[in-house]
């Protein structure tokens, strides 16, 4: 049984956080979404769904297909290749599949116009992920999609840092490991020089 566990939310974009449910541990690929339960846990942890709004339909096959599609796009963006007309058409078809309307919702003393769907418990549960990449393409900058420079890391992020110089999935993770490795090299080289 797979342990319903902890997911990483360091991508600065929901669709990249979803791609990042495939990770590498010591260079070996590990899929954190291996069951409906895993997927539902991710939907809750990511804030897509409230714990009580879990979908009543099977989502996993569709979700994994979507994730593969998004990973291909993340790879392309990272290499400076813009979205193809074909991939945009696929996104448009995903966008058009949502049934719902916009509704006014009260938040404190303000009103917000938000999408509302009766079908949120169903297939639309994955919609925010699709919306997230659509937002990037329409209002963000796809050129800022990066992959962590950790040699064995496969995590993506949207670089929203001030100078767009973010290199690591996290400083505690790969940033630290690479620093530690460099430090080890320096110390080790010094010591071996001393031995001569
Ligand atoms: Zn990393």
| CATH code, 76 | 1.10.3300.10
Ligand 1 center–CA 87 separation, angstroms: 27
Q: Is residue 7 part of a domain?
A: no
Provide the number of structural domains found in the chain.
1
Within a domain: 174:
no
- The DSSP result for the chain, as a single string, is ----------SSSHHHHHHTTEEEETTEEEES--SHHHHHHHHHHTTSS-TT---SS--HHHHHHHHHHHHHHHHHHHTTPPPPHHHHHHHHHHHHT---EEEEEEETTEEEEEEE-GGGGTGGGGHHHHHHHHHHHHHS-GGGEEE---TT---EEE--STTS---SS-IIIIIHHHHHHHHHHHHHHHHHHHH-
> Cα of 181 to ligand 1 centre, how many Å?
14
Residue ranges making up the domain that contains 155: 14-166
Q: Is residue 8 one of the residues assigned to a domain? A: no
pLDDT at 114: 75
Q: How far is the CA of 129 from the centre of ligand 1 (A)?
A: 22
For residue 166, report the distance from its CA to the centre of ligand 1, in Å: 11
Q: Is residue 91 part of a domain?
A: yes
Confidence of residue 53 (pLDDT cuts 50, 70, 90): confident
Q: Is 171 part of any domain?
A: no
pLDDT at 108: 84
Whether 193 maps to a domain, the answer reads no
The reported pTM is 0.82
pLDDT top residue among 83 and 50: 83
Residue 195 lies in a domain: no
The Å distance, Cα 18 to ligand 1 centre, comes to: 15
- Report the separation in Å between the CA atom of 22 and the middle of ligand 1, taken as the mean of its atom positions: 12
Percent of the chain at pLDDT > 90 equals 56
189: CA distance to ligand 1 center in Å?
26
- 18 inside domain: yes
């Amino acid at each position: 049984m797979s342990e319903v566990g902890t997911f990483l939310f360091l991508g600065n974009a929901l669709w990249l956080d979803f791609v990042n449910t495939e990770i590498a541990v010591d260079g070996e690929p590990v899929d954190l979404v291996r069951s409906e339960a895993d997927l539902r846990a991710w939907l809750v942890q990511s804030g897509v769904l409230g714990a009580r709004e879990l979908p009543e339909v099977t989502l996993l096959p569709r979700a994994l297909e979507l994730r593969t599609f998004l990973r291909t796009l993340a790879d392309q963006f990272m290499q400076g290749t813009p979205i193809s007309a074909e991939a945009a058409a696929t996104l448009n078809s995903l966008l058009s599949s949502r049934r719902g309307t916009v509704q006014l919702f009260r938040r404190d003393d303000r009103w917000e116009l938000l999408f509302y769907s009766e079908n949120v418990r169903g297939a639309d549960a994955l919609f925010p992920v699709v919306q997230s990449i659509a937002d990037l393409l329409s209002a963000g900058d796809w050129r800022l999609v990066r992959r962590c420079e950790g040699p064995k890391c496969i995590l993506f992020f949207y670089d929203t840092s001030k100078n767009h110089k973010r290199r690591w999935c996290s400083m505690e993770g790969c940033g630290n490991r690479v620093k530690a490795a460099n430090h080890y090299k320096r110390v080790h080289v010094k010591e071996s020089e001393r031995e001569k």
